[in-house]
Structure 1
Amino acid sequence: MTDTLIPRPRETSPGDGPGLTLTPRTRVHADPASAGVLAWLRRELGAATGLPLERGGEAGAEIRLSVDPGAGLAPEGYRLVVDVRGASVIGHDTAGVFYGAQTLRQLLPPDAYRDAPLPGAAWVLPAVSITDAPRFGWRGAMLDIARHFQPKREILRFVDLLAAHKLNVLHLHLSDDQGWRVQIRRYPRLTEMASWRTESQVGAVRPPVFDGRPHGGFLTQDDVREIVSYAAERHVTVVPEIDVPGHSQAAIHAYPELGEAGRIPVGTQWGIFEEVLAVTDEVLDFYRNVIDELLELFPSPYFHVGGDECPKTQWKGSASAQQRIREEGLADEHELQSWFIGQLDRHLAARGRRMIGWDEILEGWLWAGEEDTRTPEGERKGLSPGATVLSWRGEEGGVAAARAGHDVIMAPTATSYLDYRQSEAEDEPVKVGTLLRLEDVYLSDPVPEGLSEREAAHVLGAQVNTWTEHIDTPRRLDYMVFPRLSAFAEKVWSTGPRDYAEFEPRLRAHLRRLDAAGVEYRPLEGPRPWQTRPGVVGRD
């Protein structure tokens, strides 16, 4: 089974002996630091195998989990040994133990991913020694629940699938023109009014066509607490995103004073629209209050403020925006956007959090050490040193940010957008964006060429993004995400050269695990008939 592991471990060598067969007499043990991992492992393997996997003493247990920072392992790294004494997982930290336990599960037959046992199964761990650790600290996936809402149960399932691939960040896109998806106690109209729209555009044809069906939903604060806690047990950090100052139609619908044009409807079309937030003190206070409520729910050190695709037309004609430009000594509306984002950056930094934004936050000005500029009052312009750039419009934004001393997460559209078309075949459903094949995801490298060693150290890692304009059900989500997410997971975890010809046989074996887990992925040969969407037009 070692030749089916995904992501590929750093070091693997066969062991001696027959390995370990799990039976009703198998005992398990964990040190105090690994107790949570053991609870997870017993729950998952117990359901799949039907075995009790009862706890035992360390000396008599066949499966043993422990943390040992002195074992010579890298952060999040682990050593898994299966031999005549049983199976031992030692992690540099608790996360390392968890990833070792995930590998242990992969060593079992694919039915280890089911929720109930099948008759006649044999549960054998092969004799092996594996030493492993991730290449990057940030191994993420963005899920857009603003365009099409995914309920809590699907988000929890998505977390499980991320964790099974040793990914450790779930970036939740919680607001956009087409919906606001999280409860804010101070501003109840955000969910009463802005969490649903009257209909949705179908496909990307122009002029648009609509389905005539209301769509909506939101996460309560207790839902968020549950998701965050569930993810933390699986060593996944949940990073929230509230998109400003563009992509804010839904919020403006609920609170018209936030915008420049009075009350507007929640968006029903896909695209970029002129409606933007005003840049008044009242609007900034509104979003500071929103952020403060969300910081209570999301303990992540990072908070994403969007900052992408913000048209400037309304600001050009806005008296309050032009007054702000004059008062702050700004050059133009691009610097005005940077100023607005900078206010939220400072708010987050004062609370010990780090801001993330799409690479448009580089427009205007950037805090770059000695080259920073100041307002007429002597206040520093630009972003705080802790601000992090998520580079999506190619690699250029990431390169610029890294060279300016900012941390970077790479997610260029050409290699990271899982809502993009997977082939040029006519039966590929809702073909949008550029072609992004499985092998394109696998073979691209997160670190841009031309960075110095110091600059490359600012690349925290990478993530894939799944925008859901055309993904309206969990089944369609599965189809677009998998197995490209499996390829991405190996890219950000595994070191060394990547050979797609070597990867594909391992992936085909891995698909049996996804089958057992009930994931309706895209077959490598193309969509099944029920996965197509005849008549729904995409776009280039």
Structure 2
Amino acid sequence: MPETAEPALLPAPRSARYTGGTYPYEGRPGEVRTRTDSALGPEAYRLTVDGDGVTVTGGDEAGLFWARQTLKQLLGPDEFRRTSAPTGEGAGAAPARPLPHCVIEDAPRFHWRGLMLDVARHFMPKAGVLRYLDLLAAHKLNVLHLHLTDDQGWRPEIKRYPKLTETASWRARTKVGHRASDIWDERPHGGFYTQEDLREIVAYAAERHITVVPEIDIPGHSQAAISAYPELGNTDVVDTTSFEVWSEWGVSPNVLAPSDTVLRFYEGVLEELLEIFPSRYVHLGGDECPKSQWRESDAARKRVADLGLPDEEALQSWFTGHFAGWLAERGRRLIGWDEILEGGALADGTAVSSWRGYRGGIAAARAGHDVVMCPEQQVYFDHRQDGGADEPVPIGFVRTLRDVYHFEPVPPELAGTAEERHVLGTQANMWTECTENQQRVDYQVFPRLAALAEVAWSPLPAPAERDFADFERRMTGGHYARLDALGVDYRPPSGPRPWQRRPGILGRPIEGPPPIV
């Protein structure tokens, strides 16, 4: 039997054998022997601790990195602090810590394991984004999807279009709580990332084997951009020169015009972003685009006729197809929310983020397109974690830690079929209308992101057979302590702490179980 208790590893490895005894790890340079063996596969690793020390074999450099995250978990929660303060005599020398003799063999189930972070509604300063990259790395998550633009703000610096950061990155005031709330924060809100900031974020992520996928939302969710450059809007329908960055929540009716001016403008935006973001995928939104202005616009109707489209509804598919081809010419792939499936066939290589349920992902996979499963009903972390009255700004469905642990990214309709290979993986989506600072984002994301991490990494059984009690034991037996060491303001199992509550701030709870769509 091991001389120390088996550690509460998370996410659960494919296999872990504890052989008895411990190794006194002192953290000396070179104490961990590393090598690579491509036969293990991408991101896979083998971690061995025995009387001779620690040996890590990675299928690649990413596998070695994930093995180090496991090693940190074996060493205890304090390993996740930014530094450790020596205690007792011999200050400056780290005391030896017992590592259990073990052989851990591990590899991820999915190659897309991510978090979508909305920095457009509430701006998260660069330091906060870097911190979230550390949190993703600690959970073996490898994609940060950055939602950079929306009606309420534009965040990336585009040097050829300076008004995007001079004008579109700030709004005059902010609704506090749900869109129906009558409470306002009258302070201007905003901020942006310089291109140097974005390069730093990308480089910091790469050191942690995380890909940053940028999202620029088109053709809807674009009022902030139109407020800076009015010619982008449907000028024959509405006076776009009077636009401001939107201070309301929800979906603005003001969308991009289907014009060559708009195409050239966003090609210019993307040219600069492609120099910063090396990711294979570029997310171009495509969700929640009202068509009313296009139906009223003579210019839009002429565009429909010139293109031979059936109606204005098909213009969104035209937008998607144009930029899918433009990106493909540059060796990139477009990914968009599942509305891009509407209005016409997708170009080859286009991928889909299935957010309105499973249906869009199933249709996309059956049509030969890759899919990231992130259904609102399961993994929207802006939704409330409990039905209790103390939950801060209760939005949407109740999605508990248990619910997220029982989420299955592969729909039953695809499981075991040839189309299952199109499911790239999964991500949680964190929209920030009602999360105005780091504490609020932490509360909504954690501990549920730990459950999503295990779903995305570990070879779990079918949802009905998953051992949530074991997961809960590993959370209380070690992982909450790791989150404490990382400084995460998570929701405790017993409910929100007094300072995490937001009494009097209006939410929009949806009663009953979420539908399976």
Q: TM-score range by the shorter chain?
A: over 0.9
Tell me which amino acid in the other structure corresponds to 1:409: V
Q: Does 1:536 align with 2:515?
A: no
1:422 paired with 2:422, answer no
Match for residue 467 of structure 2? 499
Deviation at 1:499, TM superposition (A): 1.2
Q: How does 1:516-527 map to 2 (within 5 A)?
A: 516-527=485-496
- 1:489 lines up with 2:453 in the alignment: yes
What is aligned with 1:213?
A: 187
Q: In structure 2, do the counterparts of structure 1 residues 106 and 147 end up closer, same or farther at CA, with 3 Å as the change threshold?
A: same
Shift of residue 504, structure 1, vs aligned partner: 0.2
Task: Give the equivalent residue in structure 1 for 2:513.
Answer: none
**Identity percentage over the alignment?**
57
For the pair 1:480 / 2:444, whether they are aligned, the reply is yes
The answer to whether the 8 Å contact 1:20/1:127 transfers is no
Q: 2:12 aligned with 1:22, yes or no? A: no
Q: TM-score, normalised by structure 2?
A: 0.93
Q: In the alignment, what sits opposite 1:113?
A: 80
Q: Work out whether 1:226 is the aligned partner of 2:217.
A: no
Is 1:238 equivalent to 2:212 in the alignment? yes
How many equivalent residue pairs?
Answer: 487
Q: Deviations over 1:42-67 (max 9, x none)?
A: xxxxxxxxxxxxxxxxxxxx311221
CA–CA distance in structure 2, aligned partners of residues 473 and 194 of structure 1:
20
Give the whole-Å Cα distance in 2 for the aligned partners of 1:235 and 1:2.
Answer: 27
Contact 2:179 2:250 in 1 (8 A): no
Q: Which amino acid aligns with 1:293?
A: E
Q: Does residue 269 of structure 1 match 2:273?
A: no
Task: Output one character per residue of 1:450-483: Cα deviation in whole Å (capped at 9) or x when no partner.
Answer: 1252111100000000000011111111111111
Once the two structures are superposed, the pairs formed by residues 325-344 of structure 1 within 5 Å of their partners are: 325-344=304-323
Shift in alpha-carbon separation, 1:334–1:20, aligned structure 2, 3 A: farther
The whole-number CA distance in structure 2 between the counterparts of 1:434 and 1:333 is 33
SS, match of residue 115 in structure 2: strand
Q: CA separation in 1, counterparts of 2:299 and 2:475?
A: 56
Tell me, in whole angstroms, the C-alpha distance in 2 between the residues paired with 1:537 and 1:103.
41
Q: Deviations over 1:367-386 (max 9, x none)?
A: xxxxxxxxxxxxxxxx2211
Per-residue Cα deviation, 1:190-235 (whole angstroms, up to 9, x for no partner): 0000000000001115264311111010000000000000000000
Q: Counterparts of 1:208 and 1:168 in 2: how far apart (Å)? A: 39
Match of 2:35 among 63, 66, 77: 66
Alpha carbons 1:20, 1:87 under 8 Å: kept: no
Closer/same/farther in 2, CA of residues 208 and 309 from structure 1, 3 Å limit: farther
Q: C-alpha separation between the residues in 2 aligned to 1:107 and 1:16?
A: 14
1:96 equivalent among 24, 48, 63: 63
Structure 1 distance, partners of 2:7, 2:459, is: 16
Out of 277, 283, 297, the residue aligned to residue 304 of structure 1 is 283
Q: Aligned-pair distance for 1:444?
A: 1.1
Structure 2: 5+ residue stretches without partners: 89-94, 510-517
Letter paired with 2:212: V
1:282 maps onto 2:256 in alignment: no
Partner AA of 1:505 in structure 2: R
**TM-superposed deviation, 1:340:** 1.1
Q: Note the C-alpha offset of 1:15.
A: 2.4
Secondary structure of the structure 2 residue equivalent to 1:4: coil
SS across alignment from 1:15:
strand
Match of residue 512 from structure 2: none
CA distance in 2, matches of 1:218, 1:466: 19
Check conservation: 2:180, 2:506, Cα contact below 8 A: no
Moved over 4 A (4+): none
Counterparts of 2:368 and 2:114 in 1: how far apart (Å)? 22
**Could you tell me which residue of structure 1 aligns to residue 301 of structure 2?**
322
Task: Write the letter of the residue equivalent to 2:470.
Answer: E
SS in 2 for 1:19: strand
> Alpha-carbon deviation of 1:122?
4.9
Partner of 1:175: 149
Taking the aligned partners of 2:382 and 2:179, their CA distance within structure 1 comes to 16
In structure 2, give the amino acid aligned to 1:14: Y
Go from structure 1 to structure 2 and tell me whether the alpha carbon gap of 1:507 and 1:108 turns closer, same or farther (over 3 Å shift).
Answer: same
Q: State the Cα RMSD in Å.
A: 1.2
- Whether contact under 8 Å (2:181, 2:505) holds in the other structure is no
CA contact (8 A) 2:175 2:185 kept: yes
Give the whole-Å Cα distance in 1 for the aligned partners of 2:333 and 2:6.
39
Partner of 1:164: 138
Contact persistence 2:19–2:101 (CA under 8 A): yes
CA contact (8 A) 2:181 2:506 kept: no
Deviation at 1:124, TM superposition (A): 2.1
* CA contact 1:137–1:461 (8 Å) conserved in 2: yes
